[in-house]
Amino acid sequence: MAILDRSASPEDINSVVEAWLDQHWDSEKRCAKGEDSYDEKAWLTKVFEAGFCVPSWPTEYYGLGLSQKQSGIIEKAFAKRKAQGSARDRFHLGAITVFKVGSEELKRAMLPVMLTGPICCLLYSEPNAGSDLAGVRTKAIPDGDDFIITGQKIWTSNAQEAEYGMLLTRTDWDVPKHRGITFFLFPMKQDGVEVKPINQITGESEFNEVFITEARVPASHIIGNLNEGWTSFQTAIAYERLIMGQGITERRGKSKADSEPQLITLARKYEKYDDPTVRQKIAQALAYRELNGLNMQRAKQEIMTNGSSSLMSLGKLAMSRVQHGEAAIATDLLGNAALLDGDDYPDAVNINFDAAKAYMNSIGGGTDQIQKNIIAERVLNLPKEPDLDRDVAFRDVKSS
Amino acid sequence: MSQISDEDRQALRDGFSRYLEAEADQEKLRAGIASDRGYDNSIWQQMAEMGLLGIAISEDFDGVGGGATDVALVMEEVGRKLVPVPFASTCVVAAEMIARFVPDPIKQDLLQKIAAGQLTVSIGGTGDFVSLSDDGHSLSAELSGDSWVMNGQVSFVSHAGVADYHLLGLKEDGVDSAYLVTASDAVSAERLSTNDPAQRLFTLNFSDAEAIKLEDMDAEGINQVRMRGVAAVAAEQAGATRAIFDITMEYLRTRYQFGRPIGSFQAIKHMAADLLVEVESGTSAALAAAKALDSGSSSAEKFVSLAAFTCKDAFRTVSAQAIQMHGGIAYTEEHIAHLYWRRARAGLSLFGSSDEHREHYLKSREAA
């Protein structure tokens, strides 16, 4: 069997991974060979021990020291058999952040736990700290070797399943907002943590509120340094945006180019496809979607040659126009039919769902307006607007 | 398919870009526009020197054998500086028409002269390869002995005043024909007054002017020429869009009001971010069209139309908003913004309107 390191050829890597999966994974039953059902912890532990969880990390940190390209071969082999656990160096945001900015002690203690468990939830936003995330008010008060946490978080996905969350807290109220924040790896499964699902306008409940009342976290679980949480957080958020951006291009890659767009199908069905005004609107909507795809292809190309691309930041903003625009056209195509709801009216249900869901893109992960500020400041180098709270002690900052 | 390597292409672009940066400033642009020719002939000759005029012409005829992507790179640079040279008409559309439909000794002579910068061709009449069709023309071609003669009048012929040849399309009952007429005493050109001072339009009158009839004009060949013309214009617009956007961003960083750069106001930032989406979409669409043409993809038709309306609309929107974002300074004739805005408006009907291309885009998606 070939040794997996930087010098391994793509064929060698592929044959090693395939052989390993043949030996350990039952593609039919979708669980480990010899088992009857999928045991996540046990399976992830196997993957972790083989180094396939985080192949691009160095061997002393549970990886194989491979390049991104080599790691991609492992990811593909796992995906082909629908086996979980690979590419956690690309998608396990909590583990990536601890690996990048955590202390040696935290890495040793927590990376094996995190990599063999569910992904972390993100305890960032609060009812009064949304777009202005550095205004968090969740308190962390030192108590012996621990901190005691009290506060409320919101818009948390996976809060029920997560064993750990990445938590933004306020530890110093007497300095300007960015300088009194501490970032923790916070244990979710304890008294004092209450998770309540949020009912969304789409009818779904993907997000939760998390109420934290005098819960504890060890001081050793600080990610980075005390009161320097904003800096550590920048690493986490940068990876999150990267993952979201990659998601856009990868999802596009999978979509079938030859299937008829939904707008055309609806226009035919509601007998409006011959209307030249409707055709103009549909053509422009399809064009916006196609143009965003072309922009993201260029972004990918630029990332491959230069390591980064400012085009990436446009994808989310452009997608808002696509989604809200398509939902509006579809609603008009249905006419009165869009007023209805229920199982007998699937078109209305779908269209009204899409119209509501479009806000997920235009608000989630930073509103379009915040995204425009970011594009203007970071891509176009336009000067920052003066902040009223920049040099003010956080306890004196005005809030709603 | 292009015969130019990626490295050579980049070097060509960098060289041309540096040259224009040094030689095509606003003062020279305005002087060129005000001159009899309508553009700075030294730029045209330098383009010949750099091999750019023969970029779409085969190596057999002293060209460099480039493809649509190479044409797009030249056009982007031309667009950035608004250089009003007759490149798309002479070096893309006319060169493609001649290469396809003119028989050999004449073909070789004309293409070599185009590549060398010794000859320009204006294009008018009706037909899909004509960028500004004139449905009201009164042209007629008749056989007189062994040769063809042209009579009548046609308008909206770009750069016809200094052109050495006129390529005239006469589409009748859906059937294309085309003729090449040498500039001579039998042809008179009268300049039309235009909204964009850089757009040189003429009415041409022919009285028994000798003509060469193009041969074996097949619909697929004409459509290829049309698409290459559309893609070239789209790339020019994409380049011009980015240039006026960059000029505007620079102004936003340096113009102070209320004690701060106006670019720090969110009302302005949000306009800028929205416009960046248009700028990048224009570049992406122009590039995708050129690539599809070069690879002979069956999606070329779709991508060319997408590029046509995306680049027209982006240029129109960005150049119009550029004036708004500059404020009063761009309401003056001395400021360059209105020259971009006028060029954008002048481009709206080239090879058909945005609405027509949107319809065509939808149709070609259905066909695919």
Is the pLDDT score of B367 beyond 80? no
Of B261, B273, B358, which is closest to A280 when you measure between CB atoms? B358
Is the pLDDT score of A178 beyond 50? yes
CB atoms closer than 10 angstroms to residue A285 = 21
Residue B354: its pLDDT value, please?
Answer: 98
Residue A147 lies in a domain: yes
- Is the domain of A223 the same as that of A264? no
Residue A358 lies in a domain: yes
- Is the domain of A128 the same as that of A227? yes
Per-residue confidence band for A308, with pLDDT thresholds at 50, 70 and 90:
confident
- Is the domain of B65 the same as that of B91? yes
Question: Could you tell me which residue, A250 or A311, shows the higher pLDDT?
Answer: A311
Q: What is the pTM of this model?
A: 0.89
Of A119-123, A156-160, A300-304, B265-269, the poorest mean pLDDT is in A300-304
Residue A399 lies in a domain: no
Residue A243: its pLDDT value, please?
Answer: 75
Task: Provide the domain count of chain B.
Answer: 3
- Is the domain of A294 the same as that of A216? no
- Is the domain of B154 the same as that of B95? no
Closest CA to B133 of B123, B146, B118: B123
Task: Give the residue from A53, A72, A91 where a domain finishes.
Answer: A91
Query: Which residues of chain A are within 8 Å of residue B276 when distances are taken between CB atoms?
Result: 314, 375, 379-380
Distance of CA B93 to the CA centre of its chain: 9
Residue B2: its pLDDT value, please?
Answer: 72
Decide: helix, strand or coil at residue B290.
helix
Instruction: Work out the mean pLDDT of chain A and round it to a whole number.
Output: 92
In whole angstroms, give the CA distance from residue A73 to residue A75: 5
Residue A380: its pLDDT value, please?
Answer: 97
CB atoms closer than 10 angstroms to residue A309 = 19
DSSP character at residue B55: T
Contacts of A308 (CB under 8 A, 6+ apart): A302
In whole angstroms, give the CA distance from residue B102 to residue B97: 7
User: Beta strands of chain A (E only): which ranges?
Assistant: 25-26, 31-32, 121-123, 139-143, 146-157, 164-170, 181-187, 193-197, 207-218
Can you give the C-alpha Rg of chain B in angstroms?
21
Q: Minimal Cα distance from A282: which residue of B?
A: B362
- Is the domain of A216 the same as that of A291? no
B residues 255-284 lying closer than 8 A (beta carbon) to A = 260-261, 263-266, 268-270, 272-274, 276-277, 280-281, 283-284
Residue A4 lies in a domain: no
Is the pLDDT score of B155 beyond 50? yes
In whole angstroms, give the CA distance from residue B287 to residue B298: 16
- Is the domain of B359 the same as that of B265? yes
Look up the CATH number of the domain holding residue A177: 2.40.110.10
**Phi/psi of residue B20, each to 5°?**
-65, -40
Interchain proximity B272–A382, CB inside 8 Å: yes
Per-residue confidence band for A253, with pLDDT thresholds at 50, 70 and 90:
very low
Q: How far is CA A253 from CA A125, A246, A314, B245, B319, in A?
A: 31, 11, 18, 31, 33
Residues in chain A: 400
Per-residue confidence band for A313, with pLDDT thresholds at 50, 70 and 90:
confident
Is the pLDDT score of A247 beyond 60? no
Q: By residue range, what is the domain housing residue A345?
A: 245-365
* CA-CA-CA-CA torsion sign (A370, A373, A378, A380): positive
Interchain proximity A280–B309, CB inside 8 Å: no
Residue B74 lies in a domain: yes
- Is the domain of B245 the same as that of B356? yes
Task: Give the residue from B199, B217, B235 where a domain finishes.
Answer: B217
In whole angstroms, give the CA distance from residue B261 to residue B284: 31
Average pLDDT over residues A318-347: 96
Look up the CATH number of the domain holding residue B201: 2.40.110.10
Residue A386 lies in a domain: no
- Is the domain of B225 the same as that of B213? no
- Is the domain of B27 the same as that of B135? no
The residue whose two tokens read 């214009």 is B233
Query: Nearest C-alpha of chain A: how many angstroms from B244?
Result: 14
A263-281 residue pLDDT tens: 999 999 999 999 999 999 9
- Is the domain of A133 the same as that of A198? yes
Of A117-121, A129-133, B264-268, B346-350, the poorest mean pLDDT is in A129-133
The residue whose two tokens read 């933004």 is A168
In whole angstroms, give the CA distance from residue B335 to residue B328: 10
CA dihedral A242, A244, A248, A253 (to 10 degrees): 70
Residue A392 lies in a domain: no
Number of Cβ pairs < 8 A linking chain A and chain B: 106
- Is the domain of B304 the same as that of B230? yes
Region of residue B183 (phi > 0: left; psi between -120 and 50: alpha; otherwise: beta): beta
Per-residue confidence band for A239, with pLDDT thresholds at 50, 70 and 90:
confident
Residue A246: its pLDDT value, please?
Answer: 62
Per-residue confidence band for A254, with pLDDT thresholds at 50, 70 and 90:
very low
Interchain proximity A372–B273, CB inside 8 Å: yes
- Is the domain of B245 the same as that of B303? yes
Residue B168 lies in a domain: yes
Residue B326: its pLDDT value, please?
Answer: 98
Per-residue confidence band for A73, with pLDDT thresholds at 50, 70 and 90:
very high
- Is the domain of A333 the same as that of A280? yes
Cβ proximity of A287 and B309 under 8 Å = yes
Interchain proximity B310–A291, CB inside 8 Å: yes
Task: Give the residue from B88, B116, B144 where a domain finishes.
Answer: B116
DSSP character at residue A186: E
Is the pLDDT score of B182 beyond 80? yes
Average pLDDT over residues B332-349: 97
**Phi/psi of residue B34, each to 5°?**
-80, -15
- Is the domain of A190 the same as that of A222? yes
CB atoms closer than 10 angstroms to residue B11 = 12
Task: Give the residue from B92, B116, B140 where a domain finishes.
Answer: B116
Give the best residue of A286, A291, A374 to mutate against chain B (max B CB count within 10 A): A291
Interchain proximity B366–A264, CB inside 8 Å: yes
Is the pLDDT score of A300 beyond 90? no
In whole angstroms, give the CA distance from residue A160 to residue A127: 19
- Is the domain of A77 the same as that of A152? no
Interchain proximity A314–B269, CB inside 8 Å: no
Q: Are strands B178-182 and B165-169 parallel, antiparallel or unpaired?
A: antiparallel
A residues 276-305 lying closer than 8 A (beta carbon) to B = 276, 279-280, 282-284, 286-287, 290-292, 294-295, 297-298
Which residue type, as a one-letter code, is found at position A356? A
Average pLDDT over residues B17-22: 95
Q: By residue range, what is the domain housing residue B149?
A: 121-217
- Is the domain of A276 the same as that of A200? no
Task: Provide the domain count of chain A.
Answer: 3
- Is the domain of A30 the same as that of A138? no
- Is the domain of B208 the same as that of B343? no
Determine what percent of chain B is predicted with pLDDT higher than 90.
Answer: 94
Average pLDDT over residues A317-321: 93
Q: How far is CA B116 from CA A81, B55, B209, B256, in A?
A: 61, 11, 26, 49
- Is the domain of B36 the same as that of B133? no
- Is the domain of B88 the same as that of B70? yes
Residue A257: its pLDDT value, please?
Answer: 55
Residue B357: its pLDDT value, please?
Answer: 98
- Is the domain of A38 the same as that of A146? no
The verdict on B298 touching A (C-beta cutoff 8 Å) is no
Token representation of residue B283 = 């570049």
Look up the CATH number of the domain holding residue B86: 1.10.540.10
- Is the domain of B275 the same as that of B359? yes
B20-76 residue pLDDT tens: 999 999 999 999 999 999 999 999 999 999 999 999 999 999 999 999 999 999 999
Residue A241: its pLDDT value, please?
Answer: 73
Is the pLDDT score of A327 beyond 50? yes
Residue B1 lies in a domain: no
- Is the domain of A84 the same as that of A136? no
Contacts of B288 (CB under 8 A, 6+ apart): A294, B303, B306, B307
